[in-house]
Structure 1
């Protein structure tokens, strides 16, 4: 069996912000009735997380749950725990009309941190990132230049970006160009 590796093997670059691939991450797509009591109970029992509100991400002891659409969530967890979480969610949701599937190896995750992290993301995504408009715990499914991506803001002010593995190099390069030394715009300072 081959070794599982991240898309870009942990590459990073420092400029006005630090851009780094975060390595392997477990990701599980969950589709179903997000307003159902069985869904809420399954997420609480398996992950310790609640069903997030629209465009939010909720944390639990075993992972985070991100709102992706009116009938879709993304569970973000330890890569090695994904299969066990899938089995537990499927058992907890037995009899419900749901889809629970491992998409971990189809995605790449990047982190942008530092004083200008908000500015770097704002250069690439058509989202209002002004303080007050976008805060920790918020999630957006959008585009970064020419490709689909999703991102959220952490409590420490850093951002995490998810994209398809097939465009990981493109997204990393975009983030690096947006964070090159001397490229500060100063809009949020």
Structure 2
């Protein structure tokens, strides 16, 4: 009797763990550094997870080297009827795109120059990146509040994270590499160059 109960309890715990992981993936990315137990389970069960989500029109993106995983809507060729979306399509403002490109560019530089895996950027650095592309204003404090709101939004999107006890420092999440590539950096930089030259004139 006790063996039956133990087996049943184990089964329930395994089901609960699996459900926790699947729900977490539906709600957002899973990170090795933040979700160690879930990460180990994800690596162990990734094929069955891929099979499960494929029935829902979702694909698993997993980067074991960088330590992140997330779900994305599968794209089907020659599909006249688009599936209902489980993963919201993210629409970015120009300012959000600019900051993401700046962060991705800085991460590429960091990876080329530094051995440390983590990239920490300061609030002042972010201000300096954004300022050349912002209209000239007489109220600097108001502009900085707008920058702070932008930083907060990018944190909510999962591309930056706050550093405990250091409110003006942020870690760049490496998942940004899956959303902004080198070609996009070049294209966006080229797009903004004429605006910057016009401002300098």
* TM-score scaled by length of structure 1: 0.32
Could you say which structure has the higher helix fraction?
2
Higher relative contact order (CA 8 A, sep 6+): 1
Could you say which structure has the higher strand fraction?
1
Report the structure number with the largest CA radius of gyration.
Answer: 2
